[in-house]
Amino acid sequence: MDVKRCQWCGSDPIYQDYHDHVWGRPVYDSQELFAKLCLDGQQAGLSWITILKKQQNYERLFANFDAKIIATFDEAKVEQLLQDAGIVRNRLKVNSIIRNAKAKIAFEEQGNDFSQFLWSFVGGKPVINHFASMSELPAQTPESEAMSKALKKLGFNFVGPTICYAFMQAVGMVNDHTTDCFRYGK
């Protein structure tokens, strides 16, 4: 029997596995949310599958996205990272992960909860959309624009409203599985 999935994942087994087991499932862990936000920023100008195929390398090279470790990365470490073909070797993108780690730490040192902050843009629970086709999905929403603005104010970068919306979809803040997808409503 053919399983009906969202159109975007096509027939690529890596994309299908990501769609079936990761995309759209609510994530509340602050470190996991931070990792996903950074990975979505790495996607800017590229296809998501490029980053998905490099995700394990990012996790290895960026200390499983432990912000406290990443915040200690210096220029020598950046140069080392830029030599590794396992990631996107773009200085601005590599530096953005370090910058975002420092911003996350500063935010949490003020007694804030990163997960609660991010989830506050959708009222703390997933928004269930009812799109019948991919053409109906927005690239950004007022919520993703607000998240982007707030993150930038905190010192994050590579967090534009389109990146924030892709992030919100990926971590289940919005359910954008199309209504004909087997994952819709689960």
Quick one: average pLDDT of 138-142? 96
Report d(CA 43, CA 33) in Å as an integer: 15
Report d(CA 30, CA 115) in Å as an integer: 5
**Looking at the domain assignment, is residue 76 inside a domain?**
yes
**Looking at the domain assignment, is residue 3 inside a domain?**
no
**Looking at the domain assignment, is residue 183 inside a domain?**
no
pLDDT tens-place string over residues 151-185: 999 999 999 999 999 999 999 999 999 999 999 87
CATH number at residue 142: 1.10.340.30
**Looking at the domain assignment, is residue 8 inside a domain?**
no
- Reduced to 3 states (helix: H, G, I; strand: E, B; else coil), residue 60 is helix
**Looking at the domain assignment, is residue 56 inside a domain?**
yes
Range of the domain at 35: 25-175
**Looking at the domain assignment, is residue 185 inside a domain?**
no
**Looking at the domain assignment, is residue 14 inside a domain?**
no
Q: Which two tokens stand for residue 49?
A: 């599958």
Question: What pLDDT is attached to residue 2?
Answer: 79
pLDDT tens-place string over residues 50-77: 999 999 999 999 999 999 999 999 999 9
Report d(CA 166, CA 108) in Å as an integer: 24
Q: Which two tokens stand for residue 82?
A: 């830029």
Q: Which two tokens stand for residue 140?
A: 């950004």
Q: Is 1 a residue whose pLDDT tops 90?
A: no
Question: What pLDDT is attached to residue 65?
Answer: 98
pLDDT band for position 45 (cuts 50, 70, 90) = confident
2 or 15, which is more confident: 15
Structurally, the chain folds into a number of domains equal to 1
Residue 181 contacts by C-beta under 8 Å, 6 or more apart in sequence? Answer: 4, 5, 6
**What pTM value is reported for the model?**
0.95
pLDDT mean across residues, the chain: 95
- Reduced to 3 states (helix: H, G, I; strand: E, B; else coil), residue 48 is helix
pLDDT tens-place string over residues 73-127: 999 999 999 999 999 999 999 999 999 999 999 999 999 999 999 999 999 999 9
Do 164 and 180 form a contact (C-beta atoms < 8 A)? Answer: no
**Would you give the DSSP letter of residue 64?**
G
Report d(CA 38, CA 31) in Å as an integer: 11
Report d(CA 182, CA 3) in Å as an integer: 7
**Looking at the domain assignment, is residue 186 inside a domain?**
no
